[in-house]
Amino acid sequence: MFRDCTGLETPPASLPADSLAAYCYDGMFRECSALVSSPAISATNTAPYSCEFMFHACKSLTDGPALMDPSPESWCYYAMFANDAALSSLSVGFSEWYSNTCTTNWMNDVAPTGVFYCPAALPNERGGSRIPNGWTKVSPAPPIVLSSCVCIEALSANSTVTAPVGSVYSADGGATWTGGTATLANAGDKVYVKAEESRSKVYPSKFVLGGAVKASGNAQSLLDPAAESLTAGSEAFRELFSGCSALKDASGLELPATSLGTDCYREMFKGCTGLTAAPALPATSLGAGCYSKMLSGCTALAEAPDLPATTMNSYCYQHMFDNCTSLRETPYLPAASLTEKCYEAMFQGCS
């Protein structure tokens, strides 16, 4: 499907199918050399060859998806991660090595060190068709799927990330979680951030970022560690990255909530003067003021995200892009019925 898409960095957030037919994901991201993250794979029933070569030669991929099928079929993971030279983390749900060749050559030529999460009962067998030599076996497998968390990746050395109050971060692929500030020593280093426990909003706390970073992953994990909710309530993400000039790219950040509460994303990226790419905004049920000043003062932003909602609410887009002085094109606005001040000063100061 995406084979040889060498410019693809961020894949779809998830592959939600529960059961996989033979060859269905065969070579799906093969030789996508720029791919830096993997989609969540929900399948617990895999067919023969269903995932063979799926991430073969994805040389920038560091964290593999969680593979939760407890009894994978023959050849289903054949050469799945072979030649992924940066791969250093993987989680599996099976507790025995099957003799049906399901993992033949699946981890050939990956990173020399890494973390392999698995049930304690899985035998500690080593090699390119088992657990890679040099990797640490950690049991039990972590309950949190890293691809569901918010990921902050350094674009320059010695960037810093302070997680919002009530959130925890992991700098070791999910093995340990803590609060506070992380220093990313090298460009490409990552931390994963999630809520410590379920809550209704992150506000009034927010991220504090230094250096140059990009954000990806599912923002809902900051409300619900499992990122299962599709609702974002009143003020849920208000000011989440406000004033973070170090944030350069948020195009990979997922905001999947379909129903938005009052002021939900208000001022979320306000004053992010280095931001060049905004996240997609798929919601169609808007709360009052939900996008008010969301991207206000993002002076480096040249392209606005699509705004698909057709039913407005009062103040919903008020001042959304004001003072976005680099903005060159406005989004299509499909709503046929307007509400009080829904577009007030939406593009004010976009010179």
**pLDDT band at residue 36 under the 50/70/90 scheme:** confident
204 and 102 in a single domain? The answer is no
Asked if the structure places residue 297 within a domain, the reply is: no
pLDDT at 51 over 90: yes
Give the end of a domain, one of 227, 249, 277.
Answer: 227
170 and 132 in a single domain? The answer is no
pLDDT value for 100: 65
Rounded average pLDDT over 151-178: 90
pLDDT value for 143: 56
Asked if the structure places residue 268 within a domain, the reply is: no
116 and 172 in a single domain? The answer is no
119 and 157 in a single domain? The answer is no
Burial 228-261 (b: 16+ CB within 10 A, else e): ebebbbbbbbbbbbbbbbbbbbbbbbbbbbebbb
Q: Residue 44's closest CA among 66, 68, 24?
A: 68
24 and 119 in a single domain? The answer is yes
Q: If you average pLDDT over every residue of the chain, what do you get?
A: 91
Rounded average pLDDT over 112-117: 92
134 and 164 in a single domain? The answer is no
Rounded average pLDDT over 192-219: 94
Residue 283 CB partners (closer than 8 Å, separation 6+): 255, 257, 258, 259, 260, 290, 309
pLDDT value for 16: 74
CA distances (Å), 120 to each of 68, 73, 95, 117, 241, in order?
Answer: 15, 21, 7, 9, 39
**pLDDT band at residue 99 under the 50/70/90 scheme:** low
Percent pLDDT > 70 in the chain is: 97
Percent pLDDT > 90 in the chain is: 69
9 and 77 in a single domain? The answer is yes
Helix (H) or strand (E) holding 101: none
Q: How many domains does the chain have?
A: 2
pLDDT value for 229: 83
pLDDT at 144 over 90: no
Give the end of a domain, one of 141, 176, 203.
Answer: 141
The answer to whether 153 touches 213, Cβ cutoff 8 Å, is yes
Does the pTM surpass 0.75? The reply is no
133 and 156 in a single domain? The answer is no
57 and 152 in a single domain? The answer is no
Residue 108 or 1, more confident: 108
Asked if the structure places residue 125 within a domain, the reply is: yes
Reading across the β-sheet that carries 159-162, which strands appear in turn? Answer: 181-184, 159-162, 208-210
Rounded average pLDDT over 275-289: 94
Distance CA 60, CA 57 (A): 9
Give the end of a domain, one of 141, 162, 189.
Answer: 141
Q: For residue 220, report the phi and psi dihedrals to the nearest 5 degrees.
A: -60, -20
74 and 1 in a single domain? The answer is yes
17 and 131 in a single domain? The answer is yes
116 and 5 in a single domain? The answer is yes
Asked if the structure places residue 50 within a domain, the reply is: yes
Asked if the structure places residue 267 within a domain, the reply is: no
pLDDT at 289 over 80: yes
Distance CA 50, CA 242 (A): 43
pLDDT value for 43: 82
pLDDT at 52 over 80: yes
Asked if the structure places residue 336 within a domain, the reply is: no
Asked if the structure places residue 258 within a domain, the reply is: no
Asked if the structure places residue 246 within a domain, the reply is: no
* Domain, as residue range, for 183: 146-227
